[in-house]
């Protein structure tokens, strides 16, 4: 039996990760989703998108929401530049481990994809394996997919990618900036699919 806890940001990659977890779990109440506020600029938009997506799925388990401090967090870059949050994925994984154990989960999934692996070490399956707790490993089940693949699969499942949140730097009025790396990648993937 597969019983994952999914790190769920309300974005495309983590939404597909959650859908795949629901596919492989024996029953839906064996899948848990955790949203973590680590000081990201889009935290409000992300949690709204996460809750909205779970309602759309008629998801039965509660969304676990928490706050975690990532030592030395620095959001660098602007516009279409990269966003670097050193140690983020490790901090998120370590923050949910106690909950994963308490809930009887057998793994933690996160939505790292191939497009990010070249630039970010913590988006590689090999990195996930190297930091994994022996009892509840960290896994990146989408590691071989591109953003285009993610968009394609979400659409096949009837999910409009624009229903989710993908922007790192929301504008002052709360809308997607359209210029950050994530916005640009989404637009390119939407055109190509």
CATH code where residue 163 lies? 3.40.50.620
Total domains in the chain come to 1
**If DSSP codes are grouped into helix, strand and coil, which group holds residue 184?**
helix
> 16-42 pLDDT, tens per residue?
999 999 998 866 667 899 999 988 889
61-67-73 Cα angle (round to 5) = 135
> 140-157 pLDDT, tens per residue?
999 999 999 999 999 999
Q: Is 140 exposed, middle or buried (0-12, 13-18, 19+ CB in 10 A)?
A: buried
Instruction: Decide if pLDDT at 133 tops 50.
Output: yes
Token code pair at residue 17: 């990760």
Instruction: Decide if pLDDT at 60 tops 70.
Output: no
Q: Which domain holds residue 77?
A: 4-192
- What is the spatial distance between Cα 101 and Cα 157, in angstroms, rounded to a whole number? 30
Instruction: Decide if pLDDT at 62 tops 90.
Output: no
Give every CB contact of residue 28 below 8 A, 6+ residues apart in sequence: 22, 59, 60, 61
Mean pLDDT over residues 89-94, rounded?
Answer: 94
Q: The pTM is what?
A: 0.89
Residues in the chain: 193
What's the pLDDT band for 63 if we cut at 50, 70, 90? confident
pLDDT of residue 77: 41
């Amino acid at each position: 039996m597969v019983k994952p806890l999914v790190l769920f940001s309300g974005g495309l990659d983590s939404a597909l990760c959650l859908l795949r977890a629901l596919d492989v779990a024996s029953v839906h109440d064996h899948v848990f989703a955790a949203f973590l506020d680590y000081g990201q600029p889009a935290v409000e938009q992300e949690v709204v998108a996460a809750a909205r997506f779970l309602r759309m799925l008629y998801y039965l388990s509660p969304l676990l929401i928490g706050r975690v401090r990532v030592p030395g967090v620095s959001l660098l870059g602007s516009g279409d530049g990269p966003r670097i949050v050193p140690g983020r994925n490790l901090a998120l994984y370590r923050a949910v481990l106690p909950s994963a154990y308490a809930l009887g989960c057998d793994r933690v999934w996160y939505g790292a994809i191939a497009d990010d692996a070249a630039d970010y070490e913590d988006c590689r399956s090999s990195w996930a394996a190297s930091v994994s707790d022996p009892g509840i490993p960290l896994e990146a089940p989408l590691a071989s997919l591109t953003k285009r693949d993610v968009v394609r699969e979400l659409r096949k499942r009837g999910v409009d990618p624009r229903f989710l949140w993908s922007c790192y730097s929301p504008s002052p009025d709360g809308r997607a900036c359209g210029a950050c790396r994530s916005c640009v990648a989404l637009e390119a993937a939407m055109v190509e699919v």
